[in-house]
Amino acid sequence: MRLTQRAVTPVTVAIVAPTLAATTALASPARSTAQVMSAPIKVVATIPVGEFPFGVAADPAKKTIYVANSGNNTLSVINGRTNTVTAAVPTGHGPYGVATDPRTKTIYVTNTFSNTVSVISARTNTVTATIPVGEFPRGVAADPRTKTIYVANSHSDTVSVISARTNTVVATIRLGKCNCSEPVDLPFWVAVNPRTNTVYVTNQGFPHQSVSVISARTNKAVARIRLPFTPEAIAVNPRTNTAYVVSGRNLLSVINGKTDKVVTTITAGSNAFGVAADPRTGLVYVTNPDSNTMTVINGETSKMVATVRVGRRPFIGIAVNPQTGLAYVANLFSNTVSVLASCREKEAASRSAVHCRRS
């Protein structure tokens, strides 16, 4: 995981064909992306947050965005209507991943150096519980349907399963078969498909680079999808039952949730690291830290449709509010969050995300 800064060539929004063609057609999303593609994708707001922002999560119902600031151990709470920070909630040491449960109005933050998860009430913006998990927790995902939280413990080679009802760890899933003294799988990021009760975890340990597929019904790993590269983040589109996993080698692999197989791999900008999927439009957003850009991909065609310049070093933090169609990316070295929208030129000129609705 490199954090070095490089010189950046200016990048503008453009229609670009992928270098690697799709090998298998994907299931069409529930809604066509044609209307969205008729308008340019632009940065419509830049929001200052805390130091070294990593994970980002969005609550569609509240139109609220949450950002984990690893540099000053806080969680920034952003009002999505005004694009302003309304609170900074203290967390544990080294907050990294963020997940939300809109039904219970609860936020979950992994604290990498505290080996804990902070449970935060969205109603009061206060920590209501602190849950011990494994070593070096990174990614976290919530399943609102089952009120279950999943945490990737990188240095324990495990996934902690947390009951949101009791705020306790109810199961610990070991991903590999090796009971080694040192971690070998190095699980990093987590995504959940609540429609299929499936959990996906990226494993970064060499030579075990893969995605573990976990049944949420049994809390057991049921498949391992081998990858030719070290995976970083992973995201799921529940409507199409598709998972997207990125690597620092500029690649985005598309996984069919029915077969647990990679159906295509395409280029996705420079040093692809974070990824998010919009289930309504089918768009897939990928962060490119080396070029300070976001790559936008049409999930229906697996083609790159735009490259958008954002802040300095957009890293792992990227989230989408499917109700507004807005994407939020944390810029690690700028200490900001860029807001992306599909806007008409007239609306984008206002620089206000409030006016940028889906066409």
Asked whether the predicted pLDDT for residue 180 surpasses 50, the reply is yes
| 220-233 average pLDDT score | 94
pLDDT band with cut points at 50, 70 and 90 for residue 1:
very low
Asked whether the predicted pLDDT for residue 15 surpasses 70, the reply is no
What pLDDT does residue 22 have? 34
What pLDDT does residue 249 have? 81
What pLDDT does residue 183 have? 73
| 104-131 pLDDT per residue, tens | 999 999 999 999 999 999 999 999 999 9
pTM listed for this prediction: 0.86
pLDDT band with cut points at 50, 70 and 90 for residue 23:
very low
In degrees and rounded to multiples of 5, residue 234 shows phi and psi of: -140, 145
What pLDDT does residue 29 have? 38
What residue segments make up the domains of the chain, in order of their start? 34-355
* Selected residue with higher pLDDT from 20 and 103: 103
What pLDDT does residue 176 have? 72
* Selected residue with higher pLDDT from 182 and 232: 232
pLDDT band with cut points at 50, 70 and 90 for residue 60:
very high
What pLDDT does residue 11 have? 34
Q: Which class in CATH covers the domain with range 34-355?
A: mainly beta
What pLDDT does residue 126 have? 98
Asked whether the predicted pLDDT for residue 222 surpasses 90, the reply is yes
Task: Look over the chain and give the mean of its residue pLDDT values, rounded to a whole number.
Answer: 86
pLDDT band with cut points at 50, 70 and 90 for residue 179:
low
* Selected residue with higher pLDDT from 352 and 143: 143
What pLDDT does residue 342 have? 78
| 260-277 pLDDT per residue, tens | 999 999 999 888 999 999
What pLDDT does residue 55 have? 98
